[in-house]
């Protein structure tokens, strides 16, 4: 579940965004990274410094989670009755770990064997107090560290993530692979089409300028296109709510003889 990279001054703004999104009809999944970033050398060094400062164990395979942001967001979603389940996702790379796009382009490193372990947790099973919820997250990260340690200590030919009771395995089916190829083909065609358009069209400069201006404007005014869309949905929700409240009031006025007639 992305938002735990937020600093404390931004928490109130984030909680306000959760309120807005929660009032839109369609429920949106929220992706959070309790570690705040990927495990690059710089982030690993900062995590080690943090562990030494707090006199706690330094992790080799994960980073220490950021408790405050996670707790604030989960508790706010609970208050808004916006969350039923939390999905705990652990990812392990069996062959190559692609650290960045630079590795992909410059070194040609790609991951061909990626293992996902996904656990569905009812929100009712999580602790209710801030302190206990923070401790729950810490213990979960201890568990992740140990599971990944066991995984990478095995031979690459036999590696397996520890399976939880009643776990099910899902592999890519031939239909999935065909669908992946269709998506790849679609993006290749679209990319070639856009390149051709920008090389041949007389309107490419204005299109690029308008597009950049549009998204910069959305970022400045609404803090992103997703928040702009959420605002539209929220406005529609408010209009329907106001209409629903006005209808009983109008009926009451008619019954009481208070409605003015022309």
The string of pLDDT tens digits covering residues 60-93 is 999 999 899 899 989 988 988 888 999 999 999 8
* Structure confidence by residue, pLDDT tens digits, 143-197: 999 999 999 999 888 888 887 777 787 777 888 889 999 999 999 999 999 888 8
Query: Across the chain, what does the average pLDDT equal?
Result: 80
Cα-Cα-Cα-Cα torsion 188, 193, 195, 196, nearest 10 degrees, comes to 140
Instruction: Tell me which residue of 142, 92, 110, 121 sits closest to 1, measured CA to CA.
Output: 121
CA distance 159 to 152: 7
CA distance 58 to 42: 14
The pLDDT assigned to 157 comes to 84
Section 44-67 average pLDDT:
89
Burial bucket for residue 131 (CB in 10 Å: 0-12, 13-18, 19+): exposed
CA distance 220 to 224: 8
The pLDDT assigned to 246 comes to 64
Kindly state the percentage of the chain with pLDDT values over 70: 81
The pLDDT assigned to 242 comes to 73
Q: pTM of the predicted model, to two decimals?
A: 0.66
CA distance 252 to 36: 54
CA atoms in the 13 A half-sphere facing the CB of 35: 21
CA distance 137 to 143: 10
Q: State yes or no: pLDDT of 255 exceeds 80.
A: no
- Token code pair at residue 186: 């679609």
């Amino acid at each position: 579940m992305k938002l735990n990279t937020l600093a404390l001054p931004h928490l109130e703004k984030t909680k306000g965004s959760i309120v807005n999104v929660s009032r839109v009809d369609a429920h949106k999944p929220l992706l959070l990274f309790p570690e705040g970033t990927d495990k690059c050398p710089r982030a690993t060094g900062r995590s080690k410094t943090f562990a030494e400062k707090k006199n706690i164990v330094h992790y080799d395979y994960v980073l220490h989670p950021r408790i405050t942001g996670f707790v604030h967001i989960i508790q706010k979603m609970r208050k808004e009755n916006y969350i039923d389940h939390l999905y705990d996702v652990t990812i392990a790379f069996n062959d190559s770990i692609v650290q960045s796009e630079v590795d992909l382009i410059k070194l040609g490193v790609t991951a061909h064997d990626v293992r996902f372990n996904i656990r569905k947790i009812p929100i009712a099973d999580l602790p209710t107090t801030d302190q206990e919820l923070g401790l729950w997250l810490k213990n979960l990260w201890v568990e992740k560290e140990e599971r990944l340690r066991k995984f990478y200590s095995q031979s690459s030919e036999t590696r397996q993530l520890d399976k939880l009771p009643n776990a099910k395995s899902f592999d890519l089916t031939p239909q999935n692979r065909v669908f992946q190829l269709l998506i790849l083909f679609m993006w290749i065609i679209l990319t070639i089409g856009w390149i051709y358009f920008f090389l041949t069209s007389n309107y490419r400069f204005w299109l690029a300028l308008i597009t950049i201006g549009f998204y910069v404007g959305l970022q400045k005014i609404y803090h992103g296109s997703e928040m702009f869309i959420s605002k539209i949905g929220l406005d529609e929700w408010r209009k329907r709510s106001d209409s629903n409240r006005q209808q009983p009031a109008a009926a009451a006025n008619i019954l009481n003889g208070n409605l003015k007639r022309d």
